[in-house]
Amino acid sequence: MFGKLKQKWQVGWLQFVLIFCTFALGGSACARLGSWLLSYVVTEKSVLYWIIYVPLVTLLWPICVLIISIPLGQFKFFSNYLKRMWSKIKGGLE
């Protein structure tokens, strides 16, 4: 499975590990940041919390991943990755 992804992305093993670390750290940072931001708006984890949390985290994720990718040296990969993702989303909306 990892070999296929490495091949698809056309990267070496070190860059592959850094990409996975970026995904993990970016996702974790996004979840923490979303939870922290919502703690100021919604005091308890009710249905309203989850209705706001899911779209908020969805919007924060690309920003967090791009920020985390800079120190790990993967900014170029993730900026291209997010551009491809956006073009697929945009193509589906038309």
Using a CB cutoff of 8 Å and minimum separation of 24, what contacts does 86-89 make? none
pLDDT given at position 92: 64
Mean pLDDT of the chain: 89
pLDDT given at position 75: 95
pTM of the complete model: 0.80
In terms of Cα–Cα distance, which of 71, 89, 76 is closest to 21? 71
Count Cα neighbours of 83 within 13 Å in the Cβ-side half-sphere. Answer: 6
Angle between helix 2-9 and helix 13-39 axes, rounded to 10 deg: 100
Structure tokens at 38: 């919502």
On the question of pLDDT at 94 being above 70, the answer is no
pLDDT given at position 16: 93
**Residue 73 near residue 47 (C-beta atoms within 8 A):** no
